[in-house]
Amino acid sequence: MTYLLIVLAYVFCHGLTSLVVTPVQSILLPEITMFASLIYLPHGVRVLASWASGWKAIPTLFIGAGLASWLFTPADEWDMVQGMMLESLFVGAISAYFAFELLRLFGCDFYFGSQRRLNWKGMILIGAISSVVNSVGQTLVFSGVIAFERFAQILIIYAIGDLIGLVICMFALMFVFRWVRGYSLAKRR
């Protein structure tokens, strides 16, 4: 059930990004919009799923990203990047897990259950590291399509979009936790 929720959350967040953020961004930055979003909500799903499930989140994130890409990528863009799609999905699916493991290697275990409470600063750090991993990986995957002079700009847009998406997802999760806590307390009365 948890894994189905991850897939659904990924598809929902990707759809929200595609149907709301992308149209607005395409007016302002049309040459970058195909490759990166200034608010990429699925990055928050990647980080939170990896936090809760570790490596087990990777296949689920891969499936969620594949389904979301299939549902929301316009046909002309899909045709252009189809050969690179599996690599792109894999990079996105492993980026947060890689960041968690990298920090764990250095003695900072931020996984669910390793600490009494969710470490929000640690999650932002994980999000930043995984964003860099994802940004560099995606830019390399799409290097044959991205014009070299736009490389740095797109890399920065990936990082900004991933971090903003993570922060928004974390705020949403905070409200969900508060609602669940309030609902549980009200139910006990």
pLDDT tens-place string over residues 89-147: 999 999 999 999 999 999 999 998 887 777 888 889 999 999 989 888 887 887 766 66
pLDDT band at 170 (very low <50, low <70, confident <90, very high): confident
Please give the average per-residue pLDDT across 21-37, as a whole number.
Answer: 75
Query: Which one, of 101, 92, 20, 42, lies nearest residue 62 by Cα?
Result: 92
With a pLDDT cut of 90, the percent of the chain lying above it is 35
14-37 burial: b if 16+ Cβ within 10 Å, else e: bebbbeebbeebeeebeebbbbbb
- Element (DSSP H or E) covering residue 173: helix 151-188
166, two tokens: 């993570």
Q: Which amino acid is at 183?
A: Y
User: pTM for the full model?
Assistant: 0.83
Cβ-proximal residues to 173 (8 Å cutoff; 6+ apart), any chain? 48
Query: Which one, of 41, 42, 138, lies nearest residue 85 by Cα?
Result: 138
